[in-house]
Amino acid sequence: MIEIRKQEIIPSQEDAFALQGISSGSKVSSNIILLFDQAVKIFAEHAQPVGIIAEISKNDFGIIYAGEGRNETDTPVAEIFQKADRLALFATTVGQGLHDKINELFVNKDFALGSMLDSVASAGVEKAADVLEAFFGSTVTRGIEDDKNIAVMRYSPGYCGWHVSGQRKLFEYLKPEEIGITLRASYLMEPLKSASGVFIAGGVDIHFFADTYSFCSQCETHSCRERMYRIEHSINASEPGEQPASIDKRRKE
Q: Which residues bind other proteins (CB under 8 A)?
A: 20-22, 26, 28-29, 31-32, 35, 102, 106, 109-112, 114-116, 118, 158, 164-165, 184-188, 190, 192, 218, 220
Q: Which does 179 bind (CB under 5 to 8 A by kind): other proteins, ligand SF4, none?
A: none
Binding to ligand SF4 in span 130-159, by CB under 6 A = 159
**Count of other CB atoms within 10 angstroms of residue 14:** 12
Instruction: Write a three-state SS string for the chain.
Output: CEECCHHHHCCCHHHHHHHCCCCCCCCCCHHHHHHHHHHHHHHHHHCCCEEEEEEECHHHHHHHHHCCCCCCCCCHHHHHHHHCCEEEEEEEECCHHHHHHHHHHHHCCCHHHHHHHHHHHHHHHHHHHHHHHHHHHHHHHCCCCCHHHEEEEEECCCCCCCCHHHHHHHHHHHCHHHHCCEECCCCCEECCCEEEEEEEEEEHHHHCCCCCCHHHHHCCCCHHHHHHHHHHHHHHHHCCCCCCHHHHHHCCC
When the beta carbons of 24 and 223 are compared against ligand SF4, the nearer one is 223
Q: Which does 112 bind (CB under 5 to 8 A by kind): other proteins, ligand SF4, none?
A: other proteins
**182 touches ligand SF4 by CB under 6 A:** no
Angle between helices 96-107 and 30-46 (to 10 degrees): 140
Shortest spacing between CB 165 and other proteins, in angstroms: 7
Q: Which does 185 bind (CB under 5 to 8 A by kind): ligand SF4, other proteins, none?
A: other proteins
Q: Which does 26 bind (CB under 5 to 8 A by kind): other proteins, ligand SF4, none?
A: other proteins
Q: Which does 43 bind (CB under 5 to 8 A by kind): other proteins, ligand SF4, none?
A: none
Q: Are 197 and 102 in contact (CB under 8 A)?
A: no
Binding to ligand SF4 in span 60-89, by CB under 6 A = 76
**For ligand SF4, which residue of 12, 223, 234, 236 counts as binding (CB under 6 A)?**
223
Contact partners, residue 104, CB within 8 Å, separation at least 6: none
Shortest spacing between CB 118 and other proteins, in angstroms: 5
Shortest spacing between CB 96 and other proteins, in angstroms: 12
Which of the stretches 43-51, 81-89, 196-204, 216-224 binds ligand SF4 when contact is defined by CB under 6 A?
Answer: 216-224
When the beta carbons of 106 and 173 are compared against other proteins, the nearer one is 106
**211 touches ligand SF4 by CB under 6 A:** yes
Shortest spacing between CB 32 and ligand SF4, in angstroms: 28
**106 touches ligand SF4 by CB under 6 A:** no
**Count of other CB atoms within 10 angstroms of residue 162:** 25
Chain positions contacting ligand SF4, by CB under 6 A: 76, 159-160, 211, 213, 215-216, 219, 222-224
